[in-house]
Chain A
Amino acid sequence: MNLLLEDVTFTYPSGVVALREVSLTIASGEVVALVGENGAGKTTLAKLANGLLKPQRGRVLVGESDTRQRSIAQLARHVGYVFQNPDEQLFERTVWAEVAFGPRNLGHAEAEVRASVEAALAQVGLAAEAQRHPYDLNASQRKLVALAATLAMNTSALILDEPTTGQDAGGIALLAELVEGLKKKGRTVVTISHDVDFCMEHFERAVVMSGGRILADGPVAAILSDAELLARANVEPPQLVRLAAALGLSPSPRTPDEFAALLAAQAGR
């Protein structure tokens, strides 16, 4: 199902205008990275897309439903959201109960709940921690619990707010595998991330935000290669893009293997 924002403006009660007349369509099965400076409005946009926030002007559609006409619980069946800070999300006494909360609330049978929880915990590598208290885990593991809790809902769209933050190399590899798996299943995945190297490698479309507006939107390789555009949003191109540019190699490589292939092609010329 598509996610659609149409001329959306959102102002927080404090008076901060977080989004200004933003329009964006994300089609079913797209994998999209939202990048941009702190305070650009990325998280606000994500919370509008799953109905946690409702627009004051314009409208947001999840599939055919206007988010203002649907409850957060109704929308949660379709759009999963993993918070930037897991502590805003976790409240159960065990990792298992935390991950089971969503599917139980959807009214799934207990056998189905069990299967969803087991699959989700296996995906994030926390099967062995199922009976521990979420707050006995470290911050990066808590983040993975929050992710598992959302995966267990089997929503058609998933929004990951800064998923790689605080993850070590193993955690990032796990997330990469997970995103690739969701892509294969045709799920919609939206990430908000400052980790442009991760976005370049695993996402297909990039949207650049600054000051509550969308500055650019297009194929990830083209957008994340445009240093001038990115600078306006406090973002720098991925490491391999900078290296390729310095060496006069094009087009911009998305992975170390692509970089090596460019290098080999240049040597062969």
Chain B
Amino acid sequence: MIHVHDLTYRYPGQSRPALLDVNLDVPAGQFCAVVGANAAGKSTLCYALTGFVPHFYRGKLQGTISVAGRDLLQTPPGELAGEIGLVFQNPFNQITGARFTVREEVAFGLENLGLPREEILSRIDEALALTGLADVADRSPYALSGGQQQRLAIASMVVMRPRVLVLDEPTSQLDPVGTREVFAALSALAAAGDTTVVLAEHKLEWLAAFAQRVVALSGGQIVADGPPREVLTSPEIKGCGVGQTRYTQAARVAQRDGLVPADKPLPITLQQAIDFFT
């Protein structure tokens, strides 16, 4: 579904590439997480997978990017709407400012695609239920809290039923239960097979529990790529600013203190930690 080949990209006026020799293949229906320190290239990769790089940001790009069967370098972003969706890091950047209610805001993309009214209404209800916004459907988007606006940004993209959904730290302002719900919803979307999900995130506990694959970036390059447990406990990501879950930290301390054998594989989730310590 996603094929990135030898991608190197520089923002205008920058000497250092934001992405360097990136190769990435993501099959249809995969839930793939991207981790890395700030400025490691996570957001840039999100932009590259959705056409914002280079079409909006310009700059210098080498390599090829194909998503959902389209060559992104040759396709204007407008033609990708409906097939590829991006949820921005900051929901304030996503809300149109052209609609009075949450419901109308979620309708915006579908209206632009000219879908029948009945279908628009039913898809909106579905997206609002999925993101827990049904109770505030008639409020102004600007009368929502930060976390609610972030859910709105997600609802506006999910409602489009894109084949590829790219999300740049979409839960940064959500409460813990809201975060879990979003992760579960994304995981379910991917598992249904119709949507490929690429998610840049710092919240390792939830990636560990829901993502099928983790790609770690450092200095614009992929430094580790594989199953979450393998990547998040690998020596390659040490010093890359990715961090560790508290489960991994506790396990490392216990191994240091000789409480658990040093060769036992480190846990990244609660269940793995329970198994590790019993």
- Residues of A at the B interface (CB closer than 8 Å) are 12, 14, 16, 36-39, 43, 84-85, 87, 138-141, 162, 165-172, 194, 196-197, 231, 233-236, 238-240, 242-243, 246-247, 256-257, 259-260, 263-264, 267
**Which of under 10, 10 to 19, 20 to 34, or 35 or more describes the interface residues of B?**
35 or more
Q: Across the interface, which residues of A come within 8 angstroms of B148, CB to CB?
A: 38-39
Q: Find chain A residues with CB under 8 A from B146 CB.
A: 38, 43, 84-85, 162
Query: Quick check: A85 and B92 within 8 Å, CB to CB?
Result: yes
B99 at the interface (CB under 8 A from A): no
User: Per-position contact with A for B196-224: 1 when CB-CB < 8 Å, else 0?
Assistant: 00000010010000000000000000000
Judge whether B37 is part of the interface by a CB distance below 8 angstroms: yes
CB A119 to nearest CB in B, in angstroms, measures 23
Contacts of A235 in B (CB 8 A): 175-177
Chain B residues with CB below 8 A from A238, complex form:
246
**Contact status of A38 and B147, CB under 8 A, knowing A14-B139, A169-B243:** yes
Partner of B37, one of A139, A169, A197, A260: A169
Q: Would you call B241 and A169 a contact (CB within 8 A)?
A: yes
- With contacts A138-B38, A167-B38, A247-B277 taken as known, whether A14 is within 8 angstroms of B143 at the C-beta atoms is yes
Determine how close the nearest CB of chain B comes to the CB of A115; give it in whole angstroms.
28
Interface residues of B in 92-123 (CB under 8 A from A): 92
Partner of A169, one of B90, B173, B242, B254: B242
Q: Does B50 contact A (CB under 8 A)?
A: no
A194-B176, A246-B270 known; A240 vs B246 contact (CB < 8 Å):
yes
Known: A168-B38, A264-B257. A256 touches B274 (CB 8 A): no
Q: Are B243 and A87 in contact (CB under 8 A)?
A: no
Closest B-chain residue to A231, C-beta based? B177
A14 lies within 8 A of B246 (CB): no
| CB-defined contacts of A172 to chain B, threshold 8 Å | 243
A172 and chain B: residue at smallest CB distance? B243
Query: For A233, what are the chain B residues with a Cβ–Cβ distance below 8 Å?
Result: 175
For residue B250, CB closer than 8 A to chain A, the reply is: yes
A141 touches B249 (CB 8 A): no
A216 to B277: give the CA distance in the assembly, Å.
32
Q: How far is the CA of A196 from the CA of B205 in the complex (A)?
A: 12
Q: Nearest CB to that of B277 among chain A residues?
A: A247
Docked-complex contact A85 and B90, CB < 8 angstroms:
yes
Count of CB-CB pairs between chains A and B under 8 Å: 129
A-contact 0/1 string along B157-192, CB 8 Å cutoff = 000000000000100111111111000000000000
Known: A166-B38, A234-B176, A240-B246. 4 other contacts (CB 8 A): A85-B90, A170-B241, A194-B179, A247-B278
Q: Contacts A197-B246, A260-B257 known; A16 to B278 CB distance under 8 Å?
A: no
- Asked if B37 and A168 sit within 8 Å, CB to CB, the answer is yes
Binding site for A on B (CB under 8 A): 36-40, 43, 89-90, 92, 139-140, 143-148, 151, 169, 172-180, 202, 205, 241-247, 249-250, 252-254, 257, 259, 270, 273-274, 277-278
Q: How far is the CB of A253 from chain B (nearest CB, A)?
A: 8
Using Cβ atoms and an 8 Å threshold, which residues of chain A touch B253?
256-257, 259-260
7 nearest CB pairs, A to B: A38-B147, A169-B243, A239-B246, A234-B177, A168-B241, A14-B143, A256-B249
Residues of B within 8 A of A239 (CB): 205, 245-247, 270
Residue ID in chain B nearest A259 by CB atoms: B250
Q: A85 vs B245: C-alpha distance in the bound complex, in angstroms? A: 25
Chain A residue at minimal CB-CB distance from B146: A84
Known contacts A84-B146, A240-B250, A256-B253, A264 near B259 by CB under 8 Å: yes
Beta-carbon nearest neighbor of A253 in chain B: B250
Minimum CB–CB distance from B188 to chain A (whole Å) comes to 20
Q: List 24 A-B contacts (CB under 8 A).
A: A12-B143, A37-B177, A37-B178, A38-B146, A38-B151, A39-B148, A43-B146, A85-B92, A139-B38, A165-B172, A166-B89, A167-B38, A168-B36, A169-B241, A172-B243, A235-B176, A239-B205, A243-B247, A243-B270, A243-B277, A259-B250, A259-B253, A260-B254, A264-B257
On whether A246 and B38 interact (CB within 8 A), knowing A168-B202, A168-B241, A239-B205, the answer reads no
For B139, what are the chain A residues with a Cβ–Cβ distance below 8 Å? 14, 16
Across the interface, do B178 and A234 meet the contact criterion of CB distance under 8 Å?
yes
Q: How far is the CA of A87 from the CA of B36 in the complex (A)?
A: 23
